[in-house]
Amino acid sequence: MAPVAAPEKPEVKVETKPTGIEQKIQELETMRVQVKLGGGEDKIAKQHEAGKLTARERIARLADPDSFQEIGMFAKHRASLFGMAKKDIPADGVVTGVATIDGRLVHLASQDFTALGGAVGEVHADKIVEMMNLSLKTGSPFVIVNDSGGARIQEGIDALAGYGRIFYNNVMLSGTVPQISLICGPCAGGAVYSPALTDFIIQTKQAQMFITGPSVIKQVTGEVVTPDQLGGAAAHMTQSGNVHFVAENDEDAIYITRRILSFLPSNNLEDPPRLDFDGNLESDPAVNKIIPDDPKQAYDVRNVIAQLVDRGDLLEIQSGYAQNIVIGLARIAGCTVGVIANQPCVMAGVLDINASDKAARFIRFCNAFNIPLLTLADVPGFLPGVAQEYGGIIRHGAKMLFAYSAATVPKITVVLRKAYGGAYLAMCSRDLGADRVIAWPTAEIAVMGAEGAAEIVFRKEINEAEDKAAKRKELIEKYRSAFATPYVSAARRLVDDIIEPAETRRYLAMALDALHAKRELRPPKKHGLMPL
């Protein structure tokens, strides 16, 4: 008898109902997806059409992969007036949390314009403030992406108070942890004061920033101006000096943020990160030829900086503002330095109101975060003129004297060529506490230029001479050879050494090493009075 096949086991379908916890996890997941959609697909599409990333896309690009931990995802506003009771604003319009950027802990807030225009309400503000507090407690930088219609009008004075708390905490963080503001969308009204209280503002070309917009200005003063003319990135870089970097778009702003952070310590108690260094301290002998033989001829000081710093890499700050002075972050033998250099190819490198403000602020920043100062002097003086005097050049120029004198970080000054009068002192002379002052053989350190000095000292002799022009020339040369050299200053120990330009990079690396452990104490006080 043939064997009988065993009957097939019927498939038993078991209805598996999600258990209590599984159901709750599903609900949680649905809610997370909902919150992550922000204001919804339409608003996200609109954001992209405007050439902007969403708040979460910005964070995803800023943070190292999988490093972002969101804090406060399910936060909700408590407002009830003007239809707010029924309004659901995902994450209350701001994504906040902690991440690493190139391996370093950073606290982040990114305003979500798709969620009620990223407007700032009470809870929104408190989420930002919480990140700031965590930055302070953990000694980590704070980065905020601004893209907001300003105070949430429906929340009235609660929104205003929220801004107040943000400003207050900006000041608490100032000088303790680095703060960076990215302006990637509208930033109007009092909202602008939070970025203004941070260390660096990066504005994209898609963003605008102003206290009062074009329509209010038209009503009050009659002036007609477009939003971009008034508060676009170019206007702030070239006219107001409010921004430190102009970014092509969000991606570029994020790249600049990462680059700034790479130079900085996480807080004021740490030294800046020291990078591996390839050991090459040679300058190109071409550096010997950068300064033209004619002392009146201009050159671009950025060519000098490129020869002195690692890989010629300078992160120039405010490159489009007060271009008669160049400031930026760079490295020498792997150590971060803040570079401050007169720019002879713009207005002969004179110091004026804007250049003084630009440099003084940067010196303060470097000092707060333990970044040594490298000053390159080639300065004919302070800019003469009624507008400068009425504009307060006395007060503004004094900021440089104040900032340099108050700075306790290592201070190294290289006199490249001219260093005249008060401007010589303002470019961190020995008397303002420079730890090292070195000069190139081309340096002319004097109370004023030889031409001007000769006119004053030898006026009688020149006027009485038969050939006045020849006499003037002769006496200018006499004055120049007596004073306009670095050797007079070196003899008085106002200059530590005179070196061949090509040796400068090596000299600086050794001096920075020697000064690394510098500690300088100042008399205890609440604070000095920076001439503001």
Residue 189 among the catalytic residues: yes
Q: How far is the CB of 151 from ligand HXC (least distance, A)?
A: 3
The span from the CA of 169 to the CA of 65, in Å, is 29
Read off the tokens for 46: 């609109």
Q: Which of 156, 190, 320, 433 is catalytic?
A: 190
Report the chain's terminal Cα–Cα distance, integer Å: 110
Q: Which is nearer to ligand HXC, 43 or 361 (CB)?
A: 43
For residues 141 and 186, which CB has a smaller minimum distance to ligand HXC in the complex? 186
Q: 379 - beta bridge partners? A: 419
269 binds ligand HXC (CB under 6 A): no
Per DSSP (E only), the strands in 135-178 are 142-146
231 labelled catalytic: no
Alpha carbons 314 and 328: distance in angstroms, whole number: 6
Q: Which of 53, 75, 151, 187 binds ligand HXC (CB under 6 A)?
A: 151
Q: Which is nearer to ligand HXC, 187 or 254 (CB)?
A: 187
Site string for ligand HXC, 159-178 (x = CB under 6 A): -x--x---------------
CB 419 within 8 A of CB 377: yes
Find the shortest distance in angstroms from Cβ 258 to ligand HXC. Answer: 28
C-beta nearest to ligand HXC: residue: 149
The Cα–Cα gap between 296 and 459 comes to 23
Nearer to ligand HXC, 84 or 488 (CB): 84
For the chain, the residue count is: 532
Residues 119-138 that bind ligand HXC (CB under 6 A): 119
Q: How many residues bind ligand HXC, per CB under 6 A? A: 16
Task: Please state the closest distance from residue 53 (CB atom) to ligand HXC, in A.
Answer: 15
Nearest distance from C-beta of residue 213 to ligand HXC, angstroms: 7
The label of the residue with tokens 């992209």 reads 48
Distance CA 128, CA 185 (A): 17
Decide whether 231 or 486 has the Cβ nearer to ligand HXC.
231
Cα angle 34, 152, 47 (rounded to 5 degrees) comes to: 50
DSSP per-residue letters across 253-313: HHHHHHHHHHHS-SSTTSPPPPPP-----PPPGGGGGSS-SSTT----HHHHHHHHSGGG-
> Using the rule CB under 6 A, is 153 a contact of ligand HXC?
yes
Of the listed 93, 117, 189, 381, which one is catalytic?
Answer: 189
Is 190 catalytic? The answer is yes
Segment interacting with ligand HXC, rule: CB under 6 A, options 100-108, 148-156, 255-263, 281-289: 148-156
Cα 379 to Cα 324: distance, rounded to the nearest angstrom = 10
- Give the residue among 318, 350, 354, 203 at the shortest CA–CA distance from 339: 318
Tell me which stretch binds ligand HXC (CB under 6 A): 122-130, 149-157, 282-290, 310-318.
Answer: 149-157
Residues that bind ligand HXC (CB under 6 A): 116-117, 119, 149-154, 160, 163, 186, 188-191
Give catalytic residue positions. 189-190, 422-423
